[in-house]
């Protein structure tokens, strides 16, 4: 009896590559449906699509690359576990970012268990939300060639200096391109809060980055 009919022949590698390519051309909703229909490669497509983006998002939120990788893995495990219960009328990207945001938030909350750290975080966040919006004219500052040479680290550092609740909104909007509604759903805030935090985040970022990008 031919091995093909016995079902013992493994798929041709080129066939697998073609299937993978076909999956990459589908949108998220279609890939999710293929996974739920027991397509073995479908979930890998979702991982390929989101692992980098989620890693950048979580890394910028918590500021720890190694821990960010652990959290992103946890995101995918949870998605795998609960994908059968995902409401397919909603956007998959919003759902997966919500999981990532919650894990990052929990990570930051666990770090601030120290009462002093917790108090300092609360104080810093309050000040960031209530100080007047302003922008200083820094044309009189001397050039800092060292900082301009290492723009990458400096720009990343400017983002890391933002308060956490501003940073999340800033990264989701400016780097991930999420809409206000999506950001509100991901962070669990209302639209007004999203706009307010985004405005303040931009204000803070502009003050920090201005000397470096003249």
Partner 1 sequence: MTCREFLARYTDYRDGLVAAPREARRFARHLVTCVSCRRYDAALHNGVGALQTLPGAEPDAAFRRRLERRLNAERARAGRPALPTRPAAAAALLVAVALGLLAWEGARHSPTVRAPSLPPVPFPKPVAQAGLPFVSFQDPRTSVVSGNPYPYGTAFVEPASAHR
Please say which residue, 112 or 207, places its beta carbon nearer to partner 1.
207
Separation in Å, CA 95 to CA 161, 171, 187, 201: 27, 17, 11, 24
Please say which residue, 36 or 47, places its beta carbon nearer to partner 1.
47
* Interface map 33-72 toward partner 1 (x if CB under 8 A): ----------x---x---xxx-xx--x-----x---x--x
For the bound state, the minimum distance from the C-beta of residue 196 to partner 1, rounded and expressed in Å, comes to 8
Please say which residue, 71 or 92, places its beta carbon nearer to partner 1.
71
Q: Can you tell me the distance from the alpha carbon of 124 to that of 164, in angstroms, rounded to the nearest whole number? A: 10
* Interface map 116-135 toward partner 1 (x if CB under 8 A): -----------------xxx
Restricting to residues 130-169, name those near partner 1 by CB under 8 A.
133-139, 151-152, 155-156, 158-159
Please say which residue, 55 or 121, places its beta carbon nearer to partner 1.
55
Please say which residue, 121 or 187, places its beta carbon nearer to partner 1.
187
Q: Which spans of this chain sit near partner 1 (rule: CB under 8 A)?
A: 43, 47, 51-53, 55-56, 59, 65, 69, 72-73, 76-77, 80-81, 133-139, 151-152, 155-156, 158-159, 173-175, 180, 195, 198-199, 202-203, 205-207, 209-210, 212-213
């Amino acid at each position: 009896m031919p091995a093909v009919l016995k079902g013992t022949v493994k798929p041709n590698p080129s066939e697998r590559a073609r299937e993978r390519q076909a999956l990459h051309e589908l949108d998220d909703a279609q890939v999710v449906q293929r996974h739920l229909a027991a397509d073995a490669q479908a979930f890998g497509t979702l991982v390929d699509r989101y692992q980098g983006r989620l890693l950048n998002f979580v890394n910028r939120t918590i500021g720890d690359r190694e821990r960010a990788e652990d959290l992103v893995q946890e995101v995918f495990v949870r998605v795998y576990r609960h994908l059968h219960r995902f409401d397919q009328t909603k956007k998959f990207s919003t759902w997966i970012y919500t999981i990532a945001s919650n894990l990052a938030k929990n990570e930051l909350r666990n770090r601030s268990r120290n009462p002093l750290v917790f108090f300092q975080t609360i104080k810093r966040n309050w000040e960031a939300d209530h100080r007047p919006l302003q922008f200083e004219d820094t044309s009189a500052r001397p050039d800092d060639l060292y900082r301009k040479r290492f723009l990458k680290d400096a720009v990343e550092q400017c983002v890391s200096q933002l308060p956490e609740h501003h940073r999340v909104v800033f990264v989701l909007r400016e780097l991930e391109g999420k809409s206000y509604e999506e950001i509100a759903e991901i962070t669990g805030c209302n639209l007004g809060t999203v706009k307010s935090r985004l405005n303040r985040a931009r204000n803070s970022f502009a003050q920090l980055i201005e000397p470096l990008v003249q």
